[in-house]
Amino acid sequence: MFERRTTRQINVGKVLVGGGSPITVQSMTTTKTADVEGTLQQIYALAAAGCDIVRCTCNEQEAAEGLAQIVPRSPIPIIADIHHQYKMALAAMEAGVHGLRLNPGNIRKPEHIKAVASEARDRNLPIRIGVNGGSLDPSLYEKYGGLTAAAMVESAMQEIAYFNEVDFNLIKISVKASNVPLMVEAYRMLADATDIPLHLGVTEAGPPPAGLVKATAGIATLLLEGIGDTIRYSLTADPVEEARAGRQLLEALGLRERKNVDLIACPSCGRAEVDVIEIANKAMKAFEDKKLPLQIAVMGCVVNGPGEAREADLGIAAGNKRGHLFVKGRNVAVVPEDEMVEALVEWAEFINEHGTDAAIARADTVKAEREAQRDRSELLNEKGDDANRAQEKIVEIRKTIEN
């Protein structure tokens, strides 16, 4: 396991960031903040998907007034996103937000930056310095001859210097870029320069699946190096997808306790008795909102399925038009092929409530194993031990080399 970088700790509302606290997931609403009910509906959906902190834009008076109504009803802390108008930051704080995000490339006057930091200091309110590769201060762009990691880090350090002048230190930092190697380099450089908690993200990653790949490449690389205290996937998609992706990444890396199903599935082969992709997608949909912290396997055949997925809490493998359910690698039941997903859900709910031992105890494992063995034998007889004809290919390979 990797060792996490030691950072300071700040409070965003009741959520801790940095200092060894669990890495948090963030997202941003896409509604108009003045639309109080619509924004709250999205915030609740984000919280249900695993979001810990949510950002709302505060770009006009109506947005600030909306925040005053949203903050007390939100289930998670609210960050106000501020761009060009520093007075919007002051208004957002008056509305009761739990933190601010300032883009140093947009608010450049030192007196404005220090005015916001002074008010935040008095309110004990954290600020994220949100450096963005697409809005770097022109003077830094010119100094470094373009967008570089050093330029982004200097932008962050300049902002910190202004904060230091008014004795404000409740800070977290992001240095996001849409170029993954550049983003990784900037965060590594920043991690060496300060112990301030870092907010990770690949900005403007784009729509899934490419956006998911880009964001994961950058964020996961840094997390595996112990860098990062809070994360956001910046996808061109419903923000709920951002929250789900962030939560799933942290669970996959063992950085957060599992809250929902970890679905594993075989890639299929010549032995597959069903459309594994279709069954797996149906299962993902069925478990989407179940909040069952289990590993569940969908396997295409009974020949290797239970063995390959023996560590899963629950699984199902197709064979002879039937689905063979197994718990921790042990066959427990046989169901019709068209009831495979429904059976998975029913057994998963039982296991979540009673445990795997109880699930095995309630099953006729002797009968289930006998049925599975029969279907394995029939499948092997039908397709052979070498379903993909590997042995024939090996013979041809050897002939080619020998000649």
Instruction: Please say whether the beta carbons of 75 and 52 come within 8 A.
Output: no
pTM confidence score? 0.85
**Which pair of tokens denotes residue 185?**
């380099």
CA gap 229, 201 in Å, rounded: 11
Q: What is the mean pLDDT of each run of 10 residues along the chain (403 residues)?
A: 89 97 97 97 95 97 97 98 94 98 90 97 98 89 94 96 97 97 98 97 96 98 98 96 95 90 80 77 89 90 72 85 88 90 95 94 90 77 58 76 77
Tell me how far the alpha carbon of residue 98 is from its chain's centroid.
22
**Which pair of tokens denotes residue 144?**
């470094």
What would the DSSP string read from start to end of 189-223? HHHHH--S-BEE--TT-BSTTHHHHHHHHHHHHHH
**What's residue 317's pLDDT?**
85
**With 0-12 CB in 10 A as exposed, 13-18 as middle and 19+ as buried, what is 141?**
middle
Tell me, which fold does domain 262-383 have in CATH?
Sulfite Reductase Hemoprotein; domain 1 (3.30.413)
CA gap 383, 300 in Å, rounded: 14
DSSP summary character for residue 290 = T
**What's residue 105's pLDDT?**
82
Domain boundaries, the chain: 9-252, 262-383
Q: Is the dihedral of CA 12, 18, 21, 27 positive or negative?
A: positive
Q: In what order do the strands lie in the sheet with 262-265?
A: 262-265, 295-299, 314-319, 322-327, 330-336
CA gap 21, 102 in Å, rounded: 23
CA gap 231, 197 in Å, rounded: 11
Rg for the chain, CA atoms, rounded: 26
**What's residue 383's pLDDT?**
55
Domain 9-252 classification at class level: alpha beta
**What's residue 260's pLDDT?**
85
CA gap 109, 215 in Å, rounded: 32
